[in-house]
Amino acid sequence: MKAIALGVLMAVLSVPVSAQKKKKEAPSTEQVAEAERVFTEGMKFFVQDEFDQAIPIFEKALEMSPENSGIQFSLAKSYEKKGNTDKALPLAEKAFLSTPENRYTALLLADLYEKKNKFAEAAKLYQLLSTRYPDNAEYALELASLHMQQDQYPEALKAYERLEKALGITEEITRQKQLVLLKQGKINEAVSEGQRLINSDPGEVEYLVEQAELLMTHDRSNDAIPVLEKILQLQSNNAQAHIMLAELYRKKGDLKRCNEELAKAFSDPSLDATTKARVLTSYIAMLPQETQNEEVLKFAKALVESHPEQVQGHVILGDLLSQRNDKAAARDSYIKAARLDKSLNAVWQRVIQLDGDLNQMDSVITHSEEALEVFPNQGIFWYANGSAYLAKKQYKKSSESMEEARRLTSDPQLLGFIHAQLGDAYNAMGKFEASDASYEEALKLDANNEHVLNNYGYFLSLRKAKLDKAAEMTSRLVKLFPANATYLDTYAWVLFVKGEVAASRKLLEKATQLDASNATIWEHYGDVLFQLNEKEKALEQWKKAKSLGPASDRLEKKISTGSI
């Protein structure tokens, strides 16, 4: 027979027929006997947890013997098991009123009252049970919990104190008493309860640790220090005590002693890597943003050396190295974390960002493709992959990745970047219609997208197409960024292609003043001068462009022939 059935049968068997309330028309002996037979049939299903089959049989039995508390109880219990509290409650109330001395009916009714949030009614029943069964700690604990739910803190405290008198000082009761006292704002009393628990077993380190945590939580740091020192007298290598002391010294501004305590904690081989990482993360967060604490860096390196499998350690080290602008080392630390736990989306993004900062496009491609194995629907990784291929002039691969990024992305800002890069890739492939369409989509999202205004305008001028539009875009660009030499050069070149050579010259002269090291600007300036028939000056500018570095592939021919 199942365990649940034993309690139920005890409840039923403890209710003699003679205890039933008598009605004016009591059921006959034959009806009682038939009711008991039907009830027994229902119990066969009840003990097998087949409540759907038991319920109609119990209801039939109750019709035959409506005042039978055993049947009422069993039917109520069946409904309760099915989650039908509304039907169970009135039946349980009737069963209890018929047999108030039966603890099982009282417990069932109390449970149903709790489910209906009738805490006061449930508390009365548990008060009855705890008085009747003073050695049963469960009833007293439940009574105290019900008082807590009703914010009846003094009553809850009394219940715990009665229980403590019966059982003595225990950790569970002490913690509950402290909770009640803290709810009332009685910090000193809660601390006193903790001390009573410590006194009951002075060698129990856990009691001291919890007392120190209580004191620290409530800004009683000075009181916590001797407690922590007591812990270290009992266990000199207690990592938790060292960590808590480190936190106290940090709050006091004594970073030297704080670091000393952390070093002791980190030297404890029993302190797990997760705890070390959590402590280190917390400590870093508490330091001023501009602080570059070399001790912390040392702890992070020690953590990854002793626990190379611990992901968070590599992330922490990466953060610290990044803070020091050691981008290559930071990237390498992040990639170790990402490969240990491939689901770290933010870490993959940080890896790829640092690849880009280091101008390592092959690494961007490798790492973005690794990230895409885990996050194939993340547009940001397709965008990074496409950008790297664009930088490497692999335009077909770039456009394929960018198209996938465009399909998966809803963020307007990122979409603007994607359309801009697609425009560049398609232009390089000679797919000018697709290139123009991509640039137009980017401008719909941001009419002042400087990358698009510059590249779109310049590429149109090279194709000698839509020159009025090119001039409008590059003119707007120069108004937005009047001190940008590259943008002045672009606008000047558009005007040059349109035949507005004098206006182009003025812009290029200003551009050379703003950036005298740009070979392309000097080459363009030479082209304009040549067009204005100032051929000797033009040759000077071309030679200057050559001296500054690579410009167009036609520069050598211009210099050798003295003409465009």
Q: Half-sphere exposure (CA, 13 Å, Cβ side) for 130?
A: 22
pLDDT tens digits, one per residue of 66-112: 888 899 999 999 999 999 999 999 999 998 998 888 889 999 998 89
What is each CA distance from 254 to 247, 257, 524, in whole angstroms?
10, 6, 63
Higher pLDDT, 534 or 157: 534
pLDDT above 70 (res 21)? no
pLDDT in tens, 161-189: 887 887 789 888 899 889 889 888 999 99
List the domain boundaries for the chain: 202-271, 469-564
The 3-state DSSP class for residue 364 equals: helix
CA distance 44 to 38: 10
**Residue 65 in this model has a pLDDT that exceeds 90:** no
Confidence at 7, pLDDT banded by 50, 70, 90: very low
Do 469-564 and 202-271 have the same topology in CATH?
A: yes
Place of tokens 């109750």: 62
Q: How far apart are the first and last CA of the chain?
A: 104
396-422 pLDDT per residue, tens: 999 999 999 999 999 999 999 999 999
202-271 homologous superfamily: Tetratricopeptide repeat domain (1.25.40.10)
CB proximity list for 360: less than 8 A, separation 6 or greater: none
Q: Which fold has domain 469-564?
A: 1.25.40
Q: Give the predicted TM-score (pTM) of the model.
A: 0.64
Longest CA span, the chain: 133
